[in-house]
Amino acid sequence: MAPALKTKANAQDQPAYAGALAKFSGQIDASAFDTLDYARKRYESMPRRMRFNATTRKQAEAWQKKLRAKLIELVGGFPDKTPLNPKVLETREFPNYTRETIIFESRPGLDVFGYLMIPKGKAKPIPSVISVPGHGRGADDISGIDDKGRDRTEKVTYQYDYAIQLVEHGMAAFAIEPMGFGCRRDPASRKKGLGQSSCQPAAGAALLFGETMIGWRVWDIMRTVDYLVSRPEFDPKRIGLMGISGGGTCTVFGAALEPRISAAFVSGYLNTFRDSILSLSHCIDNYVPGILQWCEQHDVAGLIAPRPLFCESGVNDDIFPIDAFKQSFAEVKKVYDVFGASDLIGSEIHNGAHVFHGKQGLPFLARQLKA
């Protein structure tokens, strides 16, 4: 038995296997095998042909027109509009608001679901805000509905029922379900529970079609605007858009490409592509093929100018790094400065992680939409 015991002891003393090249560490350049290092070096060579460099408002407007057209192309383009065929499935009364459960047809064969919450006691027409949740259970997560389908009174992390908070600030909130969440998932994802998204197969399918999940979701936002302007109780000149995380992605791209959005509030998303989705593991629904050939994320956000924009981020957000948020926001602000609209952009850095905060952002939105 002695030889066996000796072999076991020797195995315990040996370092863990670190890969085929570990023993050649002194003979190779480790960075030549580092995919992140390679990607970041490639990033530096990206031309970003349509980056913002305007110095006058006229130049900035011409830049926006060109980049907006290119961005529509990059996300896969948009289909022709078809009838919405909306239905109000249910209307419920709460002490301070009415909640309608609504479905409408975004494009043939594809329906959108959402909760439209309308504050009571407000003179019509009133401002409305399209609210897009981040990764989670979908519209329920921001509309005061727990994972048993029950009404809840406590706002819980990480999204803190911000659709209800909008209502509390005097605005109607239309919490729409993004593709890949909640009711808008494939059967395999449904079997894995309420929190399992179907982003991966759906966004992958979009890429195979030469389109993107961002383009699909932005189109849903555009059709949501169509629905809101069809209802006389909402002011078509006061329609906002907001969301956190993946909902923040939708907000940046949605407000950039839909000029009828009057004001936007982006939580937990504004960053650089370099430091977020290029460098860290993110859902495939964030990616637009070839976009770095033309622009960075702050250029996309610059298409929102001079419409009001508020952005927030947490110092401990580990998927949208705070230093890159500061850098990106400073670049977006340059666009607003050229438009002479420095007073229409704001930001807040809170002490949390990747969570909704809203302490300054919601009042900003309420002021800009004259709630």
pLDDT of res. 56: 98
Strand residue runs (E) in the chain: 87-93, 97-107, 110-119, 126-132, 172-176, 234-244, 263-267, 309-314, 345-350
pTM: predicted TM-score of the whole model, two decimal places: 0.94
pLDDT of res. 1: 46
The helix or strand, by DSSP H or E, that contains position 9, with its residue range, turns out to be helix 2-13
pLDDT of res. 259: 98
Other CB atoms within a 10 A radius of the CB of residue 126 amount to: 18
Cα–Cα dist 186/180, whole Å: 8
pLDDT of res. 6: 47
Cα–Cα dist 360/346, whole Å: 9
Closest C-alpha to 128, from 162, 165, 174, 161: 174
Cα–Cα dist 281/276, whole Å: 8
Cα–Cα dist 228/211, whole Å: 26
* β-strand partners of 256: none
Residue with tokens 């006229």: 58
- For residue 16, give the DSSP letter: P
Cβ atoms of 144 and 338 closer than 8 Å: no
Looking at residue 316, its amino acid is: N
Domains of the chain: 57-368 (3.40.50.1820)
Per-residue pLDDT tens, the chain, 371 aa: give them.
Answer: 444 544 555 556 777 888 888 888 889 888 898 999 999 999 999 999 999 999 999 999 999 999 999 999 999 999 999 999 999 999 999 999 999 999 999 999 999 999 999 999 999 999 999 999 999 999 999 999 999 999 998 999 899 999 999 999 999 999 999 999 999 999 999 999 988 899 999 999 999 999 999 999 999 999 999 999 999 999 999 999 999 999 999 999 999 999 999 999 999 999 999 999 999 999 999 999 999 999 999 999 999 999 999 999 999 999 999 999 999 999 999 999 999 999 999 999 999 999 999 999 999 999 999 99
The tokens describing 35, both together, are: 């995919």
Write the CA distances from 120 to 97, 124, 175, integer angstroms: 5, 10, 17
